[in-house]
Structure 1
Amino acid sequence: MQETRSYVVTGRALLGEELREEDVSITVSDGIITSIEPLSRRPDRWIVPALFNAHTHLGDTVAMDLPAHGSLADLVKPPNGLKHRILAATPRDDLVRAMRSSMITMIAAGTAGFADFREGGIEGVAALREAAAGLCCRPVILGREGGELVSDGAGISSVHDIKNAEEVVRNARAAGKLVAFHAGEKNQNDIDDALAFEPDLLVHCTHATDAQLRQIVDMGIPIAVCPRSNWLLGVAASSAHPPIKRILELGGRFLLGTDNVMFVQPDLFSEMAFTATIYRAPPEEILRAAVAGAQLAGNSGYIEERQKASFIVIDPAKGNLSFSKDIRATVVKRLNPSFICQNVLTMQ
């Protein structure tokens, strides 16, 4: 839903970074939360922060569930992996239509924004912007192959996959843009070299060592983990990878992403439920990980006064959720789009 001039939404809300559960009346004016007031009666709706997908490759929608075999490099390594060959052969109109359809799917599941590693250089960035036009889902576009300078930053594959990483990072920094690296997906060998560039975001770190995690935490770098993708691609087979528990123990930050649409639907409800089942992280930490990526877009992502209105309204009576004794746990483990009765997404 696009913002109207002024309106009020009432419900049992998860407020602030603490995700405090309170019965409130929220006033939204011009897309901004102008007041959050206590509500005396018990409401019959839940108000939950909208989600932010911290790592996607939406272009891969054109290769959804294509029967594919081979190593990780055979499938996704630039410039000649299977996905790159498919993208190069896909007509622009089909690519734009595919990416837009995935964005519409994300919006329906309460996702207000996403950070996309966008292949295809300047043209690739332009195609994603065209796909996003008019939608209430904010893309943070991390370009490649020259797309870095016309997007929000650089989305670099493993530092070992490109020869000019230093130049790419230098140019991005000079332009005041973000720098993000894939690192540690298959093994830990490229993490130290990525850390040398002091990136704003690391993606995967599936096989980061304890020493590397300590350095990442000390540097304050968030890690976008993609558990379902890691399992499907065979680079994870236990709750130790990615090391979510250890990241939390060290006081670090992890964000949730869904990675390649070629393999995994860009659905953060499913990602949260999978993460809760396999990694047993506290529900509030998992929900924060599915929200806090909004900071990449310059927003808090949380339901707070003077922040952009970005939340979803849930009708628990549409199914059995009204019996919940812990809203945060239920949102993480059981929510699906059928329970959403209102999307308030103001990420643009």
Structure 2
Amino acid sequence: MQEAKPYVVTGRALLGEDLREEDVTITVSEGIVTSIEPASRTPGRWIVPAFFNAHTHLGDTVAMDLPARGSLADLVKPPNGLKHRVLAATPRAELVRGMRASITGMLATGTTGFADFREGGPEGVAALREAAAGLDCRPVILGREGGEEVSDGAGISSVHDVANAEEIVGEARAGGKLVAFHAGEKNPDDIDDALAFEPDLLVHCTHATDAHLRRIVDMDIPVAVCPRSNWLLGVAASAARPPITRILELGGRLYLGTDNVMFVQPDMLREMAFTATVYRARPEEILRAAVSGAGLAGMSGYLEEGQKANFLVINPLKNNISFSRDIRTTIVKRLDSSSICQTVLTMQ
């Protein structure tokens, strides 16, 4: 919610990018965190950064759990994959209704922003804007098929799927917009070609080699991984893919996303819990990956003085998480929407 007057909340907070745990009183004035002061005898509340879903395809809501068989290309490759045929046959009003329902679900599970690869050209971008209108969320829309011109940037499929990638990237750069590529989802063959464009974001990198990862880290390009989707689509079958551990070892910037609503609910709580279980990364690393994507929207995402307010207030007394000995671990592995009692978000 956007606050028109000073808002004050006291509780145990996860502060800064290091997510340090402290008892504090936080004051928000005109949408900015103006002070974070030490507090004693805090009430039973946790205050934690809200989540940012760094990769979605929300239009796919209308194809949710559609019985489907076939290769990755058969299902999602443009322009004739199953999802594209479903989208083309769906009336606009139904498409908007589906995307709005998914955004509402994300908000209920603590996600206040998302980066969406939006099919359907300018009309597809307009449909997503309509779906998000009036909701307390911060969408980053990456258009396709001409939608790049009226959105926040270009959301490009594999560079091998798009004949005019150089033109698309050039126009996006000229407009000061973001450039993002799917790369390395089913094999590593398109990663070098994507890196040649020096993108702002790579999605998946499921099959990136160590040499690829070193280049990506040296170029300071964030990678949005989507573990549940990779497993469900059969492009991952072990903790080696996507190479989350190696990205973190190399000091890379890791973002977390959920990918296609056709297959996976856009729920960052489930994504974090799955990632913690399969990939065994440290909880604070997973939580950072679920927050840092806010950089795509031009904001920190973390609880710091001088930053835009973007946090959740959690009531741990609503269930057994009040017994937690480590809030970061509990947020990543156990939190559900029933404990989220308030969202504080600056929309401007």
Aligned pair count reads 348
- Native 8 Å contact 1:112 1:347 kept in 2: no
SS of 2:198's equivalent in the other structure is: coil
Distance in 1 of aligned mates of 2:19 and 2:329: 11
Hey, what does 1:248 align to over in structure 2?
248
Q: Deviation per CA, 1:162-195: give whole Å up to 9, x if none.
A: 1000000000000000000000000000000000
- Native 8 Å contact 2:159 2:193 kept in 1: yes
For 2:218, the aligned partner's letter is D
For 1:211, the aligned partner's letter is A
Hey, what does 1:82 align to over in structure 2?
82
For 1:230, the aligned partner's letter is N
Distance in 2 of aligned mates of 1:299 and 1:206: 27
Matched, 1:99 2:94: no
Hey, what does 2:20 align to over in structure 1?
20
Hey, what does 2:52 align to over in structure 1?
52
**1:321-340 equivalences in 2 (<5 Å):** 321-340=321-340
Q: Deviation per CA, 1:270-294: give whole Å up to 9, x if none.
A: 0000000000000000000000000
For 2:288, the aligned partner's letter is R
Hey, what does 2:139 align to over in structure 1?
139
Distance in 2 of aligned mates of 1:40 and 1:78: 56
Distance in 2 of aligned mates of 1:202 and 1:172: 16
Matched, 1:175 2:175: yes
Matched, 1:279 2:287: no
- Native 8 Å contact 2:74 2:81 kept in 1: yes
Matched, 1:3 2:24: no
SS of 2:159's equivalent in the other structure is: coil
Q: Deviation per CA, 1:54-86: give whole Å up to 9, x if none.
A: 000000000011111000000000000000000
After TM superposition, give the deviation of residue 7 of structure 1 in Å. 1.4
TM-score norm. by structure 2 comes to 0.99
Q: Deviation per CA, 1:191-235: give whole Å up to 9, x if none.
A: 000000000000000000000000000000000000000000000
Distance in 2 of aligned mates of 1:94 and 1:345: 28
Hey, what does 2:193 align to over in structure 1?
193
Matched, 1:300 2:304: no
Hey, what does 2:222 align to over in structure 1?
222
For 1:18, the aligned partner's letter is D
For 1:205, the aligned partner's letter is C
Q: Deviation per CA, 1:32-66: give whole Å up to 9, x if none.
A: 11111110213310001000000000000000111
SS of 2:128's equivalent in the other structure is: helix
Distance in 1 of aligned mates of 2:193 and 2:324: 46
Deviates more, 1:45-54 or 1:31-40: 31-40
Distance in 1 of aligned mates of 2:104 and 2:347: 14
Hey, what does 2:344 align to over in structure 1?
344
**Percent identity among equivalent residues?**
81
- Native 8 Å contact 1:23 1:43 kept in 2: no
SS of 1:169's equivalent in the other structure is: helix
Hey, what does 2:262 align to over in structure 1?
262
For 2:59, the aligned partner's letter is G
- Native 8 Å contact 1:310 1:347 kept in 2: no
- Native 8 Å contact 2:33 2:306 kept in 1: yes
SS of 2:302's equivalent in the other structure is: coil
For 2:62, the aligned partner's letter is V
Distance in 2 of aligned mates of 1:91 and 1:345: 32
Hey, what does 1:159 align to over in structure 2?
159
Distance in 1 of aligned mates of 2:200 and 2:169: 11
Distance in 2 of aligned mates of 1:58 and 1:21: 34
After TM superposition, give the deviation of residue 346 of structure 1 in Å. 2.2
Hey, what does 1:207 align to over in structure 2?
207
After TM superposition, give the deviation of residue 306 of structure 1 in Å. 1.2
The runs of 5 or more residues in structure 2 that have no matched partner are none
Hey, what does 1:318 align to over in structure 2?
318
User: What stretches of structure 1 move > 6 A for 4+ residues in a row?
Assistant: none
After TM superposition, give the deviation of residue 347 of structure 1 in Å. 4.2
For 2:19, the aligned partner's letter is L
Distance in 2 of aligned mates of 1:58 and 1:178: 19
Distance in 1 of aligned mates of 2:189 and 2:40: 56
- Native 8 Å contact 1:117 1:141 kept in 2: yes
For 2:142, the aligned partner's letter is L
The runs of 5 or more residues in structure 1 that have no matched partner are none
**1:107-126 equivalences in 2 (<5 Å):** 107-126=107-126
For 2:151, the aligned partner's letter is S
Distance in 2 of aligned mates of 1:29 and 1:94: 39
Distance in 1 of aligned mates of 2:18 and 2:108: 25
- Native 8 Å contact 2:276 2:333 kept in 1: yes
